[in-house]
Protein backbone atom coordinates (compact mmCIF):
# COMPACT_ATOMS: atom_id res chain seq x y z
CA UNK A 1 0.00 0.00 0.00
CA UNK A 2 1.25 3.55 -0.68
CA UNK A 3 2.68 5.33 2.31
CA UNK A 4 0.36 7.93 3.86
CA UNK A 5 2.18 11.25 4.12
CA UNK A 6 1.67 13.22 7.33
CA UNK A 7 1.75 16.75 5.93
CA UNK A 8 2.17 18.45 9.30
CA UNK A 9 5.06 16.14 10.10
CA UNK A 10 6.64 16.94 6.71
CA UNK A 11 6.27 20.69 7.33
CA UNK A 12 7.88 20.33 10.75
CA UNK A 13 10.75 18.31 9.26
CA UNK A 14 11.32 21.12 6.75
CA UNK A 15 11.15 23.68 9.58
CA UNK A 16 13.84 21.75 11.47
CA UNK A 17 15.96 21.63 8.32
CA UNK A 18 15.61 25.40 7.95
CA UNK A 19 16.68 25.82 11.60
CA UNK A 20 19.80 23.73 10.95
CA UNK A 21 20.75 25.64 7.81
CA UNK A 22 20.28 29.03 9.51
CA UNK A 23 22.07 27.83 12.65
CA UNK A 24 25.08 26.53 10.75
CA UNK A 25 25.31 28.84 7.74
CA UNK A 26 23.06 31.87 8.28
CA UNK A 27 19.92 33.12 6.59
CA UNK A 28 21.73 34.04 3.38
CA UNK A 29 22.35 30.32 2.69
CA UNK A 30 18.77 29.33 3.49
CA UNK A 31 17.56 28.96 -0.10
CA UNK A 32 14.67 26.65 -0.93
CA UNK A 33 17.10 24.28 -2.66
CA UNK A 34 19.51 24.23 0.30
CA UNK A 35 16.73 23.56 2.79
CA UNK A 36 15.22 20.87 0.57
CA UNK A 37 18.58 19.09 0.49
CA UNK A 38 18.92 19.36 4.28
CA UNK A 39 15.39 18.00 4.74
CA UNK A 40 15.97 15.12 2.34
CA UNK A 41 13.17 16.11 -0.03
CA UNK A 42 13.14 17.34 -3.61
CA UNK A 43 12.80 21.03 -4.42
CA UNK A 44 9.41 20.29 -5.93
CA UNK A 45 8.25 18.55 -2.75
CA UNK A 46 9.34 21.49 -0.64
CA UNK A 47 7.59 23.96 -2.92
CA UNK A 48 4.40 21.91 -2.55
CA UNK A 49 4.39 23.06 1.07
CA UNK A 50 6.15 26.42 0.85
CA UNK A 51 6.11 28.52 -2.30
CA UNK A 52 8.68 31.01 -1.00
CA UNK A 53 11.39 31.54 1.61
CA UNK A 54 9.08 33.95 3.41
CA UNK A 55 6.33 31.31 3.73
CA UNK A 56 8.84 28.74 4.94
CA UNK A 57 10.31 31.17 7.45
CA UNK A 58 6.87 32.16 8.76
CA UNK A 59 5.94 28.55 9.44
CA UNK A 60 9.31 27.85 11.05
CA UNK A 61 8.83 30.83 13.37
CA UNK A 62 5.30 29.74 14.31
CA UNK A 63 6.64 26.26 15.06
CA UNK A 64 9.51 27.73 17.10
CA UNK A 65 7.04 29.84 19.10
CA UNK A 66 5.05 26.70 19.90
CA UNK A 67 8.20 24.93 21.04
CA UNK A 68 9.13 27.87 23.26
CA UNK A 69 5.63 27.95 24.73
CA UNK A 70 5.87 24.22 25.46
CA UNK A 71 9.19 24.72 27.28
CA UNK A 72 7.72 27.55 29.34
CA UNK A 73 4.68 25.43 30.20
CA UNK A 74 6.90 22.60 31.41
CA UNK A 75 8.95 25.07 33.42
CA UNK A 76 5.85 26.54 35.02
CA UNK A 77 4.75 23.07 36.12
CA UNK A 78 7.91 22.82 38.22
CA UNK A 79 7.22 26.10 40.07
CA UNK A 80 5.09 26.75 43.11
CA UNK A 81 1.35 26.95 42.53
CA UNK A 82 0.39 29.62 41.95
CA UNK A 83 3.85 30.63 40.70
CA UNK A 84 5.36 33.90 41.89
CA UNK A 85 5.36 36.50 39.05
CA UNK A 86 9.11 36.97 39.49
CA UNK A 87 9.69 33.26 38.80
CA UNK A 88 7.44 33.39 35.75
CA UNK A 89 9.27 36.41 34.33
CA UNK A 90 12.68 34.81 34.90
CA UNK A 91 11.56 31.61 33.22
CA UNK A 92 10.16 33.43 30.19
CA UNK A 93 13.26 35.61 29.82
CA UNK A 94 15.61 32.63 30.13
CA UNK A 95 13.70 30.74 27.41
CA UNK A 96 13.91 33.73 25.08
CA UNK A 97 17.71 33.82 25.30
CA UNK A 98 20.05 31.43 23.40
CA UNK A 99 21.05 29.47 26.49
CA UNK A 100 20.54 25.93 25.13
CA UNK A 101 20.33 24.35 21.64
CA UNK A 102 16.55 24.64 21.12
CA UNK A 103 16.44 28.23 22.34
CA UNK A 104 19.53 29.10 20.29
CA UNK A 105 17.91 27.75 17.11
CA UNK A 106 14.74 29.73 17.85
CA UNK A 107 16.78 32.85 18.57
CA UNK A 108 18.68 32.67 15.28
CA UNK A 109 15.45 32.03 13.38
CA UNK A 110 13.93 35.05 15.09
CA UNK A 111 16.84 37.23 14.02
CA UNK A 112 16.43 36.07 10.41
CA UNK A 113 12.68 36.65 10.65
CA UNK A 114 13.10 40.24 11.85
CA UNK A 115 15.62 41.02 9.09
CA UNK A 116 13.27 39.60 6.45
CA UNK A 117 10.28 41.40 7.97
CA UNK A 118 11.98 44.77 7.55
CA UNK A 119 11.50 44.44 3.79
CA UNK A 120 8.29 42.38 3.58
CA UNK A 121 5.15 44.28 4.69
CA UNK A 122 3.12 41.12 5.39
CA UNK A 123 5.92 39.62 7.48
CA UNK A 124 6.43 42.95 9.22
CA UNK A 125 2.79 43.02 10.38
CA UNK A 126 2.96 39.43 11.56
CA UNK A 127 6.26 39.88 13.37
CA UNK A 128 5.01 43.04 15.06
CA UNK A 129 1.83 41.25 16.14
CA UNK A 130 3.86 38.46 17.75
CA UNK A 131 6.04 40.95 19.63
CA UNK A 132 2.98 42.90 20.78
CA UNK A 133 1.40 39.69 22.09
CA UNK A 134 4.57 38.86 24.00
CA UNK A 135 4.80 42.36 25.43
CA UNK A 136 1.12 42.25 26.45
CA UNK A 137 1.72 39.02 28.36
CA UNK A 138 4.63 40.60 30.26
CA UNK A 139 2.58 43.72 30.99
CA UNK A 140 -0.27 41.64 32.44
CA UNK A 141 2.18 39.96 34.81
CA UNK A 142 3.65 43.32 35.86
CA UNK A 143 0.24 44.92 36.44
CA UNK A 144 -0.96 41.90 38.44
CA UNK A 145 2.18 42.02 40.61
CA UNK A 146 1.63 45.74 41.26
CA UNK A 147 -2.01 45.10 42.18
CA UNK A 148 -0.95 42.33 44.56
CA UNK A 149 1.74 44.46 46.22
CA UNK A 150 4.63 42.39 44.88
CA UNK A 151 5.91 45.38 42.92
CA UNK A 152 5.81 48.88 44.42
CA UNK A 153 2.67 50.79 43.50
CA UNK A 154 4.62 53.82 42.28
CA UNK A 155 6.23 51.83 39.46
CA UNK A 156 5.04 52.65 35.94
CA UNK A 157 3.85 49.32 34.44
CA UNK A 158 4.53 50.42 30.86
CA UNK A 159 8.12 51.43 31.61
CA UNK A 160 8.76 48.31 33.71
CA UNK A 161 7.38 46.13 30.91
CA UNK A 162 9.65 47.76 28.35
CA UNK A 163 12.67 47.36 30.64
CA UNK A 164 11.93 43.65 31.05
CA UNK A 165 11.55 43.26 27.28
CA UNK A 166 14.88 45.04 26.84
CA UNK A 167 16.60 42.22 28.76
CA UNK A 168 16.16 40.02 25.67
CA UNK A 169 18.79 42.32 24.13
CA UNK A 170 21.42 40.08 25.71
CA UNK A 171 20.98 37.78 22.70
CA UNK A 172 23.72 39.25 20.44
CA UNK A 173 26.10 39.52 23.40
CA UNK A 174 25.59 35.82 24.10
CA UNK A 175 25.73 34.75 20.45
CA UNK A 176 29.00 36.61 19.87
CA UNK A 177 30.40 35.38 23.22
CA UNK A 178 30.85 38.90 24.57
CA UNK A 179 29.32 37.71 27.84
CA UNK A 180 28.71 34.27 29.33
CA UNK A 181 25.24 32.85 30.07
CA UNK A 182 25.77 33.18 33.81
CA UNK A 183 26.41 36.91 33.40
CA UNK A 184 23.15 37.39 31.50
CA UNK A 185 21.21 35.42 34.12
CA UNK A 186 22.87 37.36 36.94
CA UNK A 187 21.81 40.64 35.34
CA UNK A 188 18.25 39.35 34.91
CA UNK A 189 18.14 38.24 38.55
CA UNK A 190 19.45 41.57 39.79
CA UNK A 191 16.93 43.52 37.72
CA UNK A 192 14.05 41.38 38.99
CA UNK A 193 15.34 41.66 42.57
CA UNK A 194 15.24 45.45 42.26
CA UNK A 195 11.79 45.39 40.68
CA UNK A 196 10.09 43.15 43.21
CA UNK A 197 9.88 44.30 46.79
CA UNK A 198 12.03 42.34 49.22
CA UNK A 199 9.04 41.61 51.43
CA UNK A 200 7.27 39.82 48.57
CA UNK A 201 10.29 37.79 47.44
CA UNK A 202 12.68 37.29 50.39
CA UNK A 203 16.32 36.84 49.51
CA UNK A 204 18.78 34.39 51.00
CA UNK A 205 19.44 35.07 54.66
CA UNK A 206 16.13 36.93 55.10
CA UNK A 207 14.03 33.93 56.01
CA UNK A 208 12.69 33.25 52.54
CA UNK A 209 14.84 30.44 51.17
CA UNK A 210 17.71 30.32 48.76
CA UNK A 211 18.61 32.90 46.17
CA UNK A 212 17.16 32.03 42.72
CA UNK A 213 19.58 30.06 40.57
d(CA 67, CA 18): 15
Judge whether 139 and 158 are in contact, CB under 8 Å: yes
Confidence at residue 4, expressed as pLDDT on a 0 to 100 scale = 53
Q: Which pLDDT tens digit goes with each residue over 172-206? A: 999 999 999 999 999 999 999 999 975 445 443 33
Are 178 and 132 a contacting pair, CB within 8 Å?
no
Asked if the model's pLDDT at residue 25 lies above 50, the reply is: yes
Residue-wise pLDDT tens digits, 141-151: 999 999 999 99
Taking 90 as the threshold, does the pLDDT of residue 140 lie above it? yes
Could you give the CA distance from residue 89 to residue 140 in angstroms, rounded to a whole number? Answer: 11
Q: Where are the beta strands (DSSP E) in the chain?
A: none
Domains and CATH numbers, the chain: 1-51 (1.10.10.60), 54-213 (1.10.357.10)
Q: What is the pLDDT of residues 67-95, one digit of tens each?
A: 888 999 999 999 888 899 999 999 999 99
Tens of pLDDT along 9-24? 898 899 889 888 888 8
First to last CA, the chain: 54
Contacts of 208 (CB under 8 A, 6+ apart): 201, 202
Share the mean pLDDT of the chain.
86
Classify residue 80 by burial, with Cβ atoms within 10 Å: 0-12, 13-18, 19+. exposed
pLDDT recorded at residue 202: 47
HEC string of 115-147 equals HHHCCCHHHHHHHHHHHHHHHHHHHHHHHHHHH
In this prediction the pTM is 0.80
Amino acid sequence: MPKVVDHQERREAIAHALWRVVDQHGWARATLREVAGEAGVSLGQLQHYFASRAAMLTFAMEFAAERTADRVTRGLAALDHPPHPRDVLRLVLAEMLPLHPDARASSRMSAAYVLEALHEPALRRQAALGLRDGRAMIERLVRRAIAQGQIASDRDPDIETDLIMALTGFTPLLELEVIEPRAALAAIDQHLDRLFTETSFPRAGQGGGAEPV
